Amino acid sequence: MRIEKDDGAFAGRAMVLGAALLWSTAGAAIKYVSVEGDEIRAGLQVAGCRSLIAALTLLPLAGRGALILNRTAGLTAIAYAFTVSSFALANRLTTAANAIFIQDSCLLFLLILGPWMLKEKNRSADYIAIAALLTGLAVLVFMDGAQEDKPMKTLGNAVALLSALAFALTIAGLRANRNGNPAAPVIWGNFLATAMCLPAFYPFALATPRNAAAVIYLGIFQLGLSYFLFSRGIRRLNAVEATIISFVEPVLNPVWTYLLCREVPGPWAILGCAIIAVTVLAHSLVSAIGKRLEVA
């Protein structure tokens, strides 16, 4: 029995790690798409195509009930659609490091929305985390966005902030819908994201072998397969262990982007990212310790 339990945990860690590794390639793959001209149009086209391919990838893997929506799942699908589309757009407008770390600040919105949406009470450590996350966000959104190395960086940081809010609503919705099929809001959310991005599809700018390869990879592996792995791996692990393993994503995201696209975050971005990373990781550890003490 002991061996089976350890094998299950090992498989869970491997699945979550695989998902995090695939997630971490988002910034590099999105920026690898080569489009001249309107970055907003390019970002929306990448987002729409990625989501369509991801939805089609998940359909045969999701099992029964994958297309059944209740009210909570439907609202979650809407939040998810805004999450993935705004994140892809943010990666085109600002640096990959800014986009991923600002989205990771979704913890801030979860702490604010938790008492209202999920009836979860905040503790003293939660309010400390809120203050720290606000500091990290202020550095990223305002200080780094003021630099002149990327004209649309401030707009990109704002879009990434929208993605963080939408991601928090998605997580809250998935929690509230935990008795339903978790694939349903994700599949429908991807279809909705595609529909939302359709107005930006003309003129279509992704019809080159390079762009097609990047978008197909994003849809099948970075978004589709990663979700399939994570949804199964998280069942075998506790929340804090999954959170720690998932930190591979924000750490490696700017690394892949540098290696593939030679994009280097500025000093303010590094400071803001560090504040957010330490806050999220520390809060996860404190929460896990607090829950263990309550049980004891």
What pLDDT, on a 0 to 100 scale, did the predictor assign at position 149? 52
Binned at pLDDT 50, 70 and 90, residue 207 comes out as confident
What pLDDT, on a 0 to 100 scale, did the predictor assign at position 159? 93
Q: Is pLDDT at 163 greater than 50 in this prediction? A: yes
- Look at the block and give the residue holding tokens 């750490």: 251
Binned at pLDDT 50, 70 and 90, residue 197 comes out as very high
Q: Which residue, 75, 32, 85, is CA-closest to 55?
A: 85
More confident residue, 97 or 194: 194
pTM of the model: 0.83
HEC sequence for 20-67: HHHHCCHHHHHHHCCCCCCHHHHHHHHHHHHHHHHHHHHCCCCCCCCC
131 Cβ neighbours under 8 A, 6+ residues apart: none
Residues 3-26 as b or e (16 or more Cβ within 10 Å = b): eeeeeeeeebbebbbbbbbbbbbb
Residue range of the domain that includes 168: 2-295
Render pLDDT for 226-249 as a digit per residue (tens, 0 to 9): 988 887 787 777 655 676 787 788
State the total domains in the chain. 1
What pLDDT, on a 0 to 100 scale, did the predictor assign at position 239? 57
What is the mean predicted confidence (pLDDT) over 13-37?
Answer: 89
DSSP states of 165-189 as a string? HHHHHHHHHHHHTTTS-THHHHHHH
Render pLDDT for 102-118 as a digit per residue (tens, 0 to 9): 888 887 888 887 777 66
Q: Is pLDDT at 19 greater than 70 in this prediction? A: yes
What is the mean predicted confidence (pLDDT) over 274-279?
Answer: 86
Render pLDDT for 50-102 as a digit per residue (tens, 0 to 9): 999 999 999 988 877 778 888 888 999 999 999 999 999 999 988 888 898 88
Instruction: Say how far residue 277 (Cα) sits from the centre of its chain.
Output: 14
